[in-house]
Amino acid sequence: MEHNFQSFAIDYFKKYLKMNGISQSDLAANLDESKQKVSNYLTGKTEFTLNKFEHFSEAMGIFILDMVSEYHQKIVLNKNVPSYVNDVKPVYETKKRDGAISEDWTEKDSRIRGLKAEVQRWIDLSEKQDKMIKRYERDIDNLERKISDLNDPGKNKQAG
C-alpha cells in the first residue's frame, strides 16, 4: 500500500474507533492481537500488509470500498467530500462483553452475510462437482484400460 493511503487509513481507523467508543484494547481482543501490536499499526510504527489491512477493516466493520473511495476523492481528486465515517451509521454498535466486541448487525448487514453464505455454498458445491468430475474421469480411464486389455488378446495370454 502506498504511504499516503497508509496514513489516510490509520486516520480513518482512529476516527472510527473514537466515534464508536472502541478502545484499542477492545479492538486488540477482537483481532486476537496484543494491544501493543494494534498500537504499532495505529501509530504507523508497523506498516499494514494488505492482509492486515483487511483484517482490521473487517474487525471494525468498515467497508474497504468506502475508505478507498473517500481516499480517492479527498486525496487524489482533492475534493472536499464528507467522510463516510461521519455520515454512515456504524456497521455495528459495540458493547463490551467479556472484554470483546459483540456485534448487533443491521438488516442490510444481515442480507450481506446471507449473500456471502450463499456464495460460499455455491463455491462449495462447485468444488464438490469438480471432485466428482475428476473421480468420473478416473473411472472412465480405468474402464477404457480394462476394455483395451480385453480387446488385446496378446495381453490376455501373457497375463494367463
| List of E strands, the chain | 92-97, 100-105
pTM: 0.48
Q: So what's the pLDDT on residue 120?
A: 75
**Of 10 and 157, more confident:** 10
Q: Is 143 exposed, middle or buried (0-12, 13-18, 19+ CB in 10 A)?
A: exposed
Cβ atoms of 96 and 85 closer than 8 Å: no
Q: Is the pLDDT of residue 141 over 80?
A: yes
Q: Categorize the per-residue pLDDT at 90 as very low, low, confident or very high, splitting at 50, 70 and 90.
A: very low
Show Cβ contacts of residue 31 under 8 Å, excluding neighbours closer than 6 positions. 38, 55, 56, 59
Q: Is the pLDDT of residue 159 over 60?
A: no
Q: So what's the pLDDT on residue 155?
A: 63
Q: Categorize the per-residue pLDDT at 134 as very low, low, confident or very high, splitting at 50, 70 and 90.
A: confident
pLDDT digits 0-9 by tens, 30-84:
888 999 999 999 998 998 888 888 888 888 888 888 788 777 777 667 666 555 5
At residue 65, the 3 state secondary structure works out as helix
Q: Categorize the per-residue pLDDT at 111 as very low, low, confident or very high, splitting at 50, 70 and 90.
A: low
Show Cβ contacts of residue 85 under 8 Å, excluding neighbours closer than 6 positions. 12, 15, 16, 19
CB atoms within 10 A of CB 17: 19
As a residue count, the chain comes to 160
